[in-house]
Amino acid sequence: MYYKLAENATAMRVAQVFVDDCIGKLLAGKLDTETASMANYWVTDMQQQGIDECVRLHGGYGCMNEYVVCRMFADSHVQRIYVGTNEVMKDHISRSV
């Protein structure tokens, strides 16, 4: 169980560093579509996987709306659809590789 927490904390830290770098590039006028698409796709996938692990760690409570982890699961799932689905983001990335 503790390894899952360590894995989630590491993935979230890497995601935060990636997003911070993208913000810096955006403010400098240097953020390209490929990198923005990578951030959108990868960070939302990591978010979904992390929350999914949290739901599993909570067991049956993770599926009850009274607990914040359940609501976070629903919210994280829709993040992969906003702005453009992750498949569209992958399409943007693959065109520039």
The CATH code of the domain that includes 79 is 1.20.140.10
pLDDT higher at 35 or 87: 35
Mean pLDDT, residues 7-33: 96
What's the pLDDT at 6?
92
Q: Which domain does 92 fall in, by range? A: 2-96
* Helices (runs of H) and strands (runs of E) counted in the chain: 4, 0
In this predicted structure, the answer to whether residue 28 has a pLDDT above a threshold of 80 is: yes
Q: Residues with Cβ < 8 Å from 42, sequence gap 6 or more?
A: 15, 18
Per-residue confidence (pLDDT) for residue 87, from 0 to 100: 82
Non-local CB neighbours of 79 within 8 Å, separated by 6+ positions: 44, 47, 48
Whole-model pTM: value is 0.79
Give 73's pLDDT tier (boundaries 50, 70, 90).
Answer: confident
Tokens 């949290």, located at residue: 54
**Residue 63, pLDDT score:** 84
Q: What value does the mean pLDDT take over residues 31-56?
A: 91
Q: How many domains does the chain have?
A: 1
- Helix, strand or coil, per DSSP, at residue 4: helix
